[in-house]
Structure 1
């Protein structure tokens, strides 16, 4: 994640409907600080974190639905590999 420069932000201002630069400098309305952006790799990393958080919530919901602690013999809603 990095903060955009004024040069990088100017072309985006018209696309995201922001106040002009003079309003930003005087502190009246608009964006007071330059926005942050993600690199392509940063977006990929963030999406993997968010997916793992969603999986954790699914597991917790299953545990609450069962209203008991899981045991070694009871799967809690996701695939358990078969023993050979």
Structure 2
């Protein structure tokens, strides 16, 4: 693996500039672009739900709903593509 790569911003990751052999994209785009995961994580973010006091039960219900449908949600996001 080559080190000391120089990042180059591009408008279209399907056409990397120059002789670039790698692109940095969100994981959900890999299949659509015909790419494979290198295992290198450049950025991670967590999502937060906020609710008024006394709504913890509702948050637990939403969390269970989302976790039970994680595969379906991932497939729907991949199918929708970039916004």
Q: What's the TM-score once normalised by structure 1's chain length?
A: 0.23
User: Which structure has the higher relative contact order (CA within 8 Å, separation 6+)?
Assistant: 2
Greater helix share, structure number: 1
Larger Rg: 1
Greater strand share, structure number: 1
Q: What's the TM-score once normalised by structure 2's chain length?
A: 0.23
